[in-house]
Structure 1
Amino acid sequence: MYQQPTAPQSIGGVLDSAIGLLKAAWIPALTMAAACAATSSLPSLLAVAMPEPMITPTPEDITAEFASEYMAASALLLLAYLVSLPFVLLFGLGLIAQMHATQRGDLLGWRDALTFAGRRFLHALLCAILLILATGVAYLGAVFIGVLLFATMMVAGAQSTATAVGLVLALVLFASTPIVVLLVYWGFALPLIVTRNLDTFAALGRSWNLVRGHFWRTLLILTIATFIVAVITILVSFGAFFTAFVPTVSGQMAILFLINTLSGMVTTPMFVAVLLAVLHDLSLRRGGDDLHRRIEAVAGRSP
């Protein structure tokens, strides 16, 4: 049985706690994890209905009619992703609820988890929309400033290829920075909506306060977790090699859908486990910081 830490841990300790939570919660949460992974992979199956020339066009295929059909198919695919996102969010909330129950030493069935997720859905949906808008605006603002700086430096005479490549890389890094900062500071808002029953703005504020003062530590843990998830995804994606033996495009896409679903059944609970472990550790640290400040305040008032 998984036991929650009772004191703040090192980075390695938090990751070890996340692994322990994943081991304890993976089987009970497997149904919800599978639903979340399958739903997120489902829009890719629309490619099955597309004619093969639209997937792998040749120069002869590219005509005005082809362009019109391609735009319509792309719009349909985008619509499919937009329709699937609420279901991915709903199943993701249920997964968080089940894994949090395991973290507390309880067991929550998938039906109860889904019911609870439905009650928290609107708060989570608003939170997700605000996160997308905030990161999008921050990214566009950073890109605009970066492009101005890039153009200024190029006009000033820094026109060598090496310099241009360096400036482009610097622009990408500069534009990505506000996204990373916002995702770290607000990355625990969705888990807080589920685990603490907070509304949207309270969860965003609570997430920000928990991370404040522990940004670099939190960023390092999430970076390590993201790297592990990426490695697992790459390893599982090697299964796409078998699509070379499938003669039809529909068969190949079905295999890719299966691979993506199986990968998500592992990586999604893994990242949720890391988020919950880090959230618990930050809560312990914030509680200790608050207690320390109270003690200092009392000591300062003492004669």
Structure 2
Amino acid sequence: MSDTSAYQRATATPYEPGFGDYVQLLKPRVMSLVVFTALVGLLVAPVSLHPVVAFTAILFIALGAGASGALNMWWDADIDAVMKRTAKRPIPAGKVQAGEALAVGLGLSGISVVMLGLATNLLAAGLLAFTIFFYAVVYSMWLKRSTPQNIVIGGAAGAFPPMIGWVCATGSVSVEAFLMFALIFMWTPPHFWALALFMKEDYHAAGVPMLTVTHGRKATRAHILAYTILLVPVALGAAATQIGGPLTLAVAVVLNAGFVLGAVRLWRRDEVMAQADNYAAEKAFFRFSLLYLFLHFAAFLAEAALKSAGLGGW
């Protein structure tokens, strides 16, 4: 019995999708990260938006992220059915039909872009439209299945939200917006390659050319270390701008020291060690990478709050 036929039978099974199934189609965990980073980009900008406008902007950025998730699930339904990590997603599980996912993705894309443009400005709407296109077409349809650099280039899609939030408030792109973008862009490869270290078989079974599949785990560990080191000046540079300050710099120093030490630890490990403890260090590094990004952006937000009270900033 082939995985393809199992997927076809699952999607042909009669099922009345509920609200929760459609919510899962939008990748809510990814959406939460998008909302948080976009909100930080908006709030640390030097121009303040009316609370209603700010809420509206974040709402439609979130819908745009959800649209990207739905389009990604529509296109990737065949490989999602093969991978254990994704087999329970709405389409391979037979809860939402592929055509419905496509309609939801396209509909939310149009609504989010148009409404963001009306609520804020055309540059923000254009960036959101490009982000959806980049994730759904450039990453999902092209890069993901064609090159081991998929997550490196494709990481741009997840890096745009803070820049979009900044542009919603200011109407322009600045060094600060670019560095917030660069922070996520450079963080994405070590974050996802750490996941790929202990999920290699999933990607191999699905035919996705992740670096662990095409070059092996040893090369992937070296790439994680290289990108983690390259991430350090980006994080410190962001802390040195107008959105940073002493608190942000201190957080950046501590987090990046921990991130580099974790990457060195992974680089020194071999497969015998990793298999012996069921990839414990790799899983710990992956979890820490999530905390790393959250705390960096939380520090930007805290610095802005201190600055408004006359206590923070440079």
Greater helix content: 1
* TM-score, normalized by the shorter chain, greater than 0.5: no
Q: Which has the higher contact order (CA 8 A, sep 6+)?
A: 1
